[in-house]
Amino acid sequence: MGSYLTASYLAKKSRESDGMDDDNPYLNHDPGRSKRKSGCYETYIKPALDKGLSFVGLIVLAPVYAVISAAVYLDDPGPVLFTQKRVGKGGHFFELHKFRTMKMDTPHDVPTHLLKDPDQYITRVGRMLRKMSLDELPQIWDIFRGKMSIIGPRPALWNQADLIAEREKYGANSVMPGLTGLAQISGRDELEIAKKAALDGEYVERLRGGFLKGMLFDLKCFFGTVKSVAESKGVVEGGTSRLV
């Protein structure tokens, strides 16, 4: 039942997201240019893999969603899911979904590192979810609906103009944002914005370096993420960019 309600909520929020690009300032910006153009892997194979794997993930992880949903609600009654307006491919806005890890009175569109004493806002269950990156699991739905990819630059908050502008230099706004990526296996929360954007740009160049090179690099990022999550590397509450 918990997984069914979660899926219903996500579908409803997806319908409500129409018109999010009204007055979007980033659509008037150059989304950034890569030295390479997108190829067959990025255009056709990668989206197909995202759709298929996310569909399987939603089914297989349904019991996990139900357990986490119950734990989040019992720890701090309120909505189980947390949504934020993020910047996707080409500067378009979309709603990103997470399991809620912070208390109901936490400021909504403020990155963790800008909160005063962010530790006070994190719930007990939320602390565990964030450490194991389980709070990100609802983004599998965002991947399935074509707003994200499994591998790619993490989507910036709508008000993080500095990060978005820095990514434009490297063409990192021209690709689909991801659940995880090169920056996430290279430091995560410990990275400063300039370094994160440079790594996102490097990912774009690797992705567009040819069919086989792009696929192998995505696999490297995927297995690197599994290793980082298992070791809880780079997770710093209140670090430089937890929500990025």
Nearest to residue 80, comparing CAs of 54, 51, 100, 50? Answer: 100
| pLDDT per position as a tens digit, 144-170 | 999 999 999 999 998 889 999 999 999
Helix (H) or strand (E) holding 232: none
CB atoms within 10 A of CB 200: 27
The phi, psi pair for 24, rounded to 5°, reads -80, 115
The tens place of each residue's pLDDT in the chain, 244 residues long, gives 445 455 555 555 544 456 788 888 888 555 455 556 889 999 999 999 999 999 999 999 999 999 999 999 999 999 999 999 999 999 999 999 999 999 988 776 666 666 777 778 899 999 999 988 899 999 999 999 999 999 999 999 988 899 999 999 999 999 999 999 999 898 766 688 999 999 999 999 999 999 999 999 999 999 999 988 887 664 544 444 443 3
| pLDDT per position as a tens digit, 47-92 | 999 999 999 999 999 999 999 999 999 999 999 999 999 999 999 9
